[in-house]
Amino acid sequence: MLPKFSGRAFLAPMAGVSDPALRLQCKKMGAGLVVTEFTNIHSIIAKESQLKERMKTIQEFIEYSDEERPLSIQLFGSDLTALEKAAKIVEPYFDIIDYNMGCPAPHITQQMAGGALLQEVNLTQQIFSTLVNAVKKPITLKIRSGVTDTNKFLFREIAEIAEDEGIEMITLHPRTVSQGYSGTSDWDMIKELKEISSVPIVGNGDITTPEDAKNMIDNTNCDYVMIGRGAMGNPFLFEQINDYLKSNSYKEYTFKDRLDSFFDYLHLTDQYKIKFTNIKGQAMRFTKGMKGGSKLRSKITLSKNIKDLEKIMNDAYVSS
């Protein structure tokens, strides 16, 4: 059974972005669910055996805190034996296991994973059944609408199979794999999925404001919304969406608030082994849209360590 979610807006899984510090920050700002970056099932198995030798658990590899709960881990990879093993390894630590069938990156689709699976109906059915039978925790699914424009409605069949096999919630990002991030997401597909499904549907794609979130809910009747790029460097969005859905108004935040919020993020990173390049990436995102932001980002790019970065961001804060 799915856990209870405290809000209708979820933070999307984003490789290199939705690290445990950003997830916690978004959770504190009202995200109803946060999801880890996608994780390779083979890496989970290999890491677990290395960690076991050192009497450590998989938490050393996939870092998180209990404050993020309910917490979903996203897996990718289609080898059924490995999938079963990886799901069993992570089950004790996470509240939901999400399966990735949307990633368009060629290095993922070429290994028959991510979005490429949408056209592999038999394998997909086996994947769902393997996951659902391997663990007791709820299994959810994240998909794109199809692979190319000619089969852009593959989601209909996949969703039906998913429900039959016991998948408990489906997130749809209604773009095809070959579309990447171009064009706009087709929210009518989310509406259609909601109409044909009996499990909760999470609508995803192009939400950057509280108004967008409300529009998606009103126009598609989806149960939840998921936000990726709009939440990058902008954890305030979750509070704003929750307020807007409740009372039609929300607090505006300034760029100074966003810089402040970057320092909160930085503080949270202390507890985790997040790569400095990823932290730098977050700094760039927290300054997006700021006056003088592009100059500031050139300086951020050149920073060599946390101390450098802190000074650059501090100077920007003082002069903003």
Catalytic residue numbers? 103
| Residue recorded with tokens 């699976």 | 117
Buried b (16+ CB within 10 A) or exposed e, 26-35: bbebbbbbbb
Least distance CB 22 / ligand FMN (angstroms): 12
**Cα gap 238→226, rounded to integer Å:** 10
Nearer to ligand FMN, 100 or 197 (CB): 100
Least distance CB 314 / ligand FMN (angstroms): 27
Nearer to ligand FMN, 100 or 234 (CB): 100
Least distance CB 11 / ligand FMN (angstroms): 9
**Cα gap 224→204, rounded to integer Å:** 9
Q: List residues binding ligand FMN (CB under 6 A).
A: 12-17, 37-38, 74, 100, 102-103, 142, 173, 204-207, 227-230
Pairing of strands 139-146, 169-176: parallel
Least distance CB 230 / ligand FMN (angstroms): 5
Helix (H) or strand (E) holding 97: strand 96-101
Q: Are 236 and 209 in contact (CB under 8 A)?
A: no
**Cα gap 177→175, rounded to integer Å:** 7
Nearer to ligand FMN, 74 or 197 (CB): 74
Helix residue ranges per DSSP H, the chain:
20-28, 41-53, 80-90, 106-109, 121-134, 154-165, 187-196, 210-220, 236-247, 255-269, 276-286, 293-302, 306-319
Nearer to ligand FMN, 192 or 206 (CB): 206
Give the residue nearest to ligand FMN (CB). Answer: 228
Least distance CB 268 / ligand FMN (angstroms): 19
Nearer to ligand FMN, 159 or 316 (CB): 159
Torsion of CA 197, 86, 19, 210, to 10 degrees: 0
